[in-house]
Chain A
Amino acid sequence: KNQVEQSPQSLIILEGKNCTLQCNYTVSPFSNLRWYKQDTGRGPVSLTIMTFSENTKSNGRYTATLDADTKQSSLHITASQLSDSASYICVVSATDNDMRFGAGTRLTVKP
């Protein structure tokens, strides 16, 4: 069983709408959690990092939250744009080279 579960698997929204992606993990110990964006045919690109003591962090229209007690994170996208269409991957680090990847949420933004 994957130690990082993401939901939903896929999501379609209209341009301008908001959405929230979920990441639940069982990885232990916990070092940090990153969200990556992967455009089709490209490698993932880091959006934000959350450490144990951080609850919320924003990067433009992206806001990540972390609840280390329940081992849950979310990525909220505000006022979606067509360019937000991509896969969003949650990555949880146990130790420094032990990074566990979620399978990703495939987001499609339609005009």
Chain B
Amino acid sequence: NAGVTQTPKFRVLKTGQSMTLLCAQDMNHEYMYWYRQDPGMGLRLIHYSVGEGTTAKGEVPDGYNVSRLKKQNFLLGLESAAPSQTSVYFCASRARQGSPLHFGNGTRLTVT
């Protein structure tokens, strides 16, 4: 099982550019999440989805959009990247309420 796969692993953007981060899980999980991890801080929730076709805002949603058109995929979009969005982005999924999160290995994004 691949588990949770994130692509790309690394990316450098210029301010104002756009990009999409892809998260794919092969565990048939209902719930999927996008987090960002910054030095000295805990992971912060950007957006999440409780099932195919649904999305909801997390703690820090501004500047990001998401889509969950297929159950196994959760896309995170940056329409106009800003230096403040330099971070490591983690996708996670879980089967049901109360079950543990399964994380991908992250995407390191630098915005210059």
Q: Which residue of A lies closest to B42 (CB)?
A: A101
**Chain A positions within 8 Å of B97 at CB level:** 96
A101 in contact with B43 given A42-B105, A43-B106 (CB within 8 Å): yes
Among B42, B48, B106, which residue has its beta carbon within 8 angstroms of that of A4?
A: B42
C-alpha spacing A84/B43, complex, angstroms: 21
Q: Mark A28-72, 1 if CB is under 8 A from B, else 0.
A: 000110101000011111100100000000000000000000000
Task: Verify B92–A89 contact, CB threshold 8 A.
Answer: no
Apart from A42-B103, A96-B97, A97-B56, 13 more pairs, CB < 8 Å: A2-B42, A34-B100, A41-B106, A43-B103, A44-B101, A44-B103, A49-B100, A96-B98, A99-B45, A101-B42, A101-B43, A103-B40, A103-B42
C-alpha spacing A49/B101, complex, angstroms: 11
Pairs across A and B, CB under 8 Å, 15 listed: A42-B103, A42-B105, A43-B90, A43-B104, A43-B105, A43-B106, A44-B103, A45-B103, A89-B42, A97-B56, A99-B101, A101-B35, A101-B43, A102-B42, A103-B40
C-alpha spacing A31/B103, complex, angstroms: 21
C-alpha spacing A81/B23, complex, angstroms: 32
Residue from A34, A36, A89, A97 having most chain B Cβ neighbours under 10 A: A97
Q: Mark B11-38, 1 if CB is under 8 A from A, else 0.
A: 0000000000000000000010001000
Q: Mark B86-112, 1 if CB is under 8 A from A, else 0.
A: 000010100001101101111000000
**Chain B positions within 8 Å of A102 at CB level:** 42
**Chain A positions within 8 Å of B104 at CB level:** 43
C-alpha spacing A44/B48, complex, angstroms: 17
C-alpha spacing A79/B101, complex, angstroms: 27
Q: Mark A5-25, 1 if CB is under 8 A from B, else 0.
A: 000000000000000000000
Task: Verify B42–A97 contact, CB threshold 8 A.
Answer: no
Q: Which residue of A lies closest to B103 (CB)?
A: A43
**Chain B positions within 8 Å of A42 at CB level:** 103, 105-106
C-alpha spacing A36/B45, complex, angstroms: 16
C-alpha spacing A101/B40, complex, angstroms: 11
C-alpha spacing A97/B47, complex, angstroms: 10
